[in-house]
Amino acid sequence: MRMENQTRIRLAAGCIPLLFTLSAAGQTPAQTAAADNADSTEPVALDAIEVTAQRRVEKLQDVPVAVTALPESQINARGIDDIGDLNALAPGLQISKTPSNTTISQITIRGVSQINPAIYWDPAVGVYIDGIYLGKAQGSIFNLVDPSRIEVLRGPQGTLYGRNTLAGAINIVTRAPSGSFSGSASVEIGNYDAFVQRASVDLPRVGIANIAIGARSEQRDGWVDTTRESSVPALNDRNNHGFRLAADLDFAPSLRGEYRFDFSTVDQTNNFDQLYRLEQTGVFDPSSPLNALYPAVVAFASRQRLENASVDAPSFERSRVQGHSFTLSYDLDDDMQIKSISGFRRLDWNDSLDLDGGPTDLVWTQRFTDYEQFSQDLQLLGNAGRWTYVAGIYYFGDDGHTNNPQRFFGGGAEYDSRYATQTAAWAGYGQVDFRPLDPLTLTAGVRYTREKKELDRVFGVRGDPSDPFFYLIPEGTHAEDTFAATTPMAAIAWRFNERLNVYFRYAEGFKSGGFNGEFSQPPSGDPGEDIPALIALNLAETRRPFDPEHQRSFELGAKSSYLGGRALFNAAVFHNQLKDFQASIFQGTGAAATIIRNVGDATINGLELEFALIPIDGTQIRANYAYLDAEYDDFRDAQGNNVARNRAFVHAPEHSFNVVIDSELLRRGWGALHAVVDYAWTDDFYTYPYQLTPVAFEQVAGDTEVQAHGLLNLRLAFTDIPLGDRGTGELALWCRNALDDDTASNFIDFGPAFGSLTVANFEEPRTFGITGTVRW
C-alpha cells in the first residue's frame, strides 16, 4: 500500500512539468491574442475574492479568520457538485460519506467531527446555504445547483454562526439572478452509462423582480454488478435530480428581498457494504450454535475492492430535500441596515441496507426519517466612523422522527427501534470591530445560546417473526433537558502594509447536548436474567442526557500577497482545547446499538498553509497543506478508567494537502485550450475511537483505519468557442480518480461479540467522460 501511494504521488507530480511545458508552448500565441484585445501593460493578478465570513462583505485577505473561498470558476473547473466533493480542498477539512450511504456527510475540521448520522445528534461543522443552517447530517449531500461561492471557515464560529459550529462552518452561496436574459446548458456522458444534464437560465427583469432558475439531473449505472439471484440488479448507481429558483425583489430603493428555493431528490441503491472481515469469535465462536453460518458468510469477505456482489436484502437510498429561504434587507440609512433571514427545510430520507455483504440472511437494517426545521435570524449591521458592528437574535426549531427496524440471523432476532427528537433554540449575539489606528483592528463578540432538547423512544425485541414484540422501552418514554452556553471571541489584527495582514484570534465553540436515541440492551438469553432490572437500565440510559461539547481556540494567522498580486500566501497555527468530548460508541450488540458519552478532553495543535501563484500569464497554481497533532488528555472508558493513551482520535489525518494547476494552454480565434490537474492527498486516519492496542474484548481502531491515499482528477477543455453573436461553447474531457485508487474509505465494525464482522465502503473506480456546454 505504501509503495502504491508513493508511485501514485510520483505520477501526479509528473503531470506538473508536463503542464508547464504545454503552457510554455502555447504562451506566445496566447500573449499575442491578448495584446490584440487589451492593454499589454495591464498587470495580471489573482482575482480578489470577497467573502461573508463575518456576516458582511469583505475581502478574503482582510478577514481575521482562517477561511478558504472557492469562487464559481473553481467550483466548475474542479467538478464540485455537492459538499462531499470538498474533501481536502481546504486545509484541515476532511469529508467522508457515512458508511453505507451517499447522501449523509461526516465533516471534520481541525480534527473535530461527528460520526453518527442519527437525527438526535448534532454535527460539529455547521453547513449553511444562502444563510440557512442545515440542521442534520442526513440528506446534507445533495445537488448544488448554481453555486457562486463556497466558504470554509476553520475554527469555532460560535459568535456569528452559533449552534454546532464547534469546529467551523461551510457557507454555500448560490448565484444571484442578473436581470438580463442569459444562461447555460450542458450535457455530460461518461462510463457506466453516466448521463448528466444541467441548465441555468436568467430571465429578463419583470417589474421589481430578477428571476433565475436552474436544474440538474444525473443517471448512472452501478459500478457493482450483482448476481441474478440478488435483491437489486446493481449497487452504487446514481439517480438524482435537483432544481433551484432564485428571485431578487426590489420593493423600494432601501428595501430588498431575496427568495431562494431548492429541491433535490435521490432514488438509488446505497453504497455496497462489502464484507471486509469476519472472525470466529462471539456468536461465530466454534462452540456457538451459530458457528455453522461462518463458512457461508466468510466466503464473501475480501480486503480488495470488489465490483461484483450477491445481496439478499432490499438495498436502497432515497432522499427528498426541499428548502425555502427569504432574506429581507432594509437600509435605515447609508451606514445602518436591518436584515431578516427566514428559512424552512424539509427532509424525507429512507434507506435499506444489507450489512453482511452477501446472500446470507444475517444482518438487515432500515431507516425511515422525516425531518423539518425552521429558523429566523434578525440582524442589525452598520458602521460609525471607526466602528463596525453586527448584532442579532436567532431562533431555530426542528422536529424529526426515525423508524429503524432491524433483523438478524434470518429473523431469529428482530427489533422495533424508533426515536423522535425536537429542538427549540434561542440565541442573542453581537460583534464589533474598532480601528483605533489605521493599521490596527480590534474585534470582540459574544453569543448566548439556550436550547431545549426532547427525545421520544421506543424499543422492542422478538425472537420469532410470528411473536409480538416485547418492549424494553415502551411507547411514551420521553426525555427532555435544556442546555446553555456563552461563546465569546476576540481578535486583534495589524495590517503592516497592503501586502501583509497578521492577526491573533481567540474563539469558543459549543455543540449542544442531547439524549441517546439508539441505546438498546436486549435480553442476553440467560433464563435467570433480571428482566425488570434490564428494562430499568434501558429507560435510565435513554433518559440520561449527554452534556454539551465545548472548544477553545487560540489562532495566530498571516495573510499576505506578493509579486504585485500574482502570489498569495496565508498561514495559520492554532492550539485548540476540546472539553467534554462527545464520543459515539458503536456497541455492536443486540440492535447494533450506539451510545454517546462525554468521555473526556483533548488538545489539538495544527498548522495550515495556503498558496496561490500565477507563474506565467494564463496559469494558476493553488495549493494547501495541513498538519494536525490531536491527542486525548482524558478519555474515560465504561469503568471510569483514563485510557487516553489507548484510544484513537477519529478523522484526524496528521498530514493532508491539495495541489491544483489551472492553465490556459493555448488561445486562438476559435477559442482556448484549458487544462486542470487536481490532486488531493490524505494521510491515514481512524474512523472510530476504539482501543489502539488490544486490551479489552472490544473493537481495535486499526481494524477500521483508512490508509493514506490520494485522488487525481483531470480536465481538458476547449473553451470560449464562438457560437454566433451572443453565445459560446465548451467541450471538456474529464477523468475522476484517474489513478483508480481503490482504498477502503469507511467502515462499520460490529465488534468481537459479533465475530468482528466488518463491512467497508471503497473509493469509486476511475470515471471519465465528455461534457458539452453552451452559454449565452
What would the 3-class secondary structure string for 544-570 be? Answer: CEECCEEEEEEEEEEEEEEHHHCEEEE
Distance, in Å, from the CA atom of 442 to the CA atom of 388, rounded to the nearest integer, reads 10
Query: Among candidates 56, 168, 172, which has minimal Cα distance to 507?
Result: 168
Residue 67 forms beta bridges with which residues?
153
Q: How confident is the model at residue 25 (pLDDT cuts 50, 70, 90)?
A: very low
Distance, in Å, from the CA atom of 661 to the CA atom of 20, rounded to the nearest integer, reads 9
CA distances from 743 to 1, 410, 750 (A): 9, 31, 20
pLDDT digits (tens, 9 = 90+) for 112-151: 998 888 999 999 999 999 999 999 999 999 888 999 999 9
Q: How is 282-350 classified by DSSP, letter by letter?
A: GGGSTTSGGGGGHHHHHTT--SSPPSEE---S--EEEEEEEEEEEEEEEEEETTEEEEEEEEEEEEEEE
Whether residue 532 has pLDDT greater than 70: yes
Residue 9: the pLDDT is 39
Look up cell 508511485; give the residue. Answer: 7
Residue 116: the pLDDT is 86
Residue 658: the pLDDT is 97
CA distances from 173 to 71, 199, 402, 405, 554 (A): 10, 18, 30, 38, 28
690-723 residues labelled b (16+ CB within 10 A) or e (exposed): bbeeeeeebbbbebbbbbbbbbbbbbbbbbbbee
Residue 759 forms beta bridges with which residues?
275, 748
> Which percentage of the chain shows pLDDT scores above 70?
94
The more confidently predicted of residues 73 and 441 is 441
* Mean pLDDT computed over 420-436: 97
CA distances from 764 to 116, 223, 224, 739 (A): 22, 8, 10, 11
Look up cell 482556448; give the residue. Answer: 672
Q: Which range among 159-173, 426-440, 609-623 shows the weakest confidence by mean pLDDT?
A: 159-173
CA distances from 171 to 55, 126, 160, 684 (A): 11, 8, 12, 27
**For residues 531 and 187, is the Cβ–Cβ distance under 8 A?**
no
Cell of 466: 410470528
Residue 578 forms beta bridges with which residues?
551, 602
Distance, in Å, from the CA atom of 55 to the CA atom of 690, rounded to the nearest integer, reads 39
Residue 399: the pLDDT is 98
Cell of 738: 484517474
Whether residue 7 has pLDDT greater than 70: no
**For residues 458 and 473, is the Cβ–Cβ distance under 8 A?**
yes
> Which percentage of the chain shows pLDDT scores above 90?
82
The secondary element (H helix, E strand) that includes residue 73 is helix 72-77
Query: Among candidates 653, 569, 660, which has minimal Cα distance to 623?
Result: 660
Distance, in Å, from the CA atom of 430 to the CA atom of 489, rounded to the nearest integer, reads 10
Distance, in Å, from the CA atom of 725 to the CA atom of 286, rounded to the nearest integer, reads 77
Q: How confident is the model at residue 676 (pLDDT cuts 50, 70, 90)?
A: very high
Q: What structural domains and CATH numbers belong to the chain? A: 2-49+180-775 (2.40.170.20)
**For residues 705 and 760, is the Cβ–Cβ distance under 8 A?**
no
Query: Among candidates 346, 400, 392, which has minimal Cα distance to 121?
Result: 400
Residue 45: the pLDDT is 80
Distance, in Å, from the CA atom of 161 to the CA atom of 429, rounded to the nearest integer, reads 9
Look up cell 428581498; give the residue. Answer: 257
* Mean pLDDT computed over 547-559: 97
Q: How confident is the model at residue 595 (pLDDT cuts 50, 70, 90)?
A: confident
Distance, in Å, from the CA atom of 384 to the CA atom of 387, rounded to the nearest integer, reads 5
pLDDT digits (tens, 9 = 90+) for 207-221: 999 999 999 999 999
The rounded Cα 495 to chain-centroid distance in angstroms is: 33
Provide the mean pLDDT of the chain: 91
* Mean pLDDT computed over 61-78: 90
* Mean pLDDT computed over 631-660: 94
DSSP-based three-state secondary structure for 115: coil
Residue 589: the pLDDT is 63
**For residues 425 and 453, is the Cβ–Cβ distance under 8 A?**
no
Whether residue 590 has pLDDT greater than 80: no
DSSP-based three-state secondary structure for 118: coil
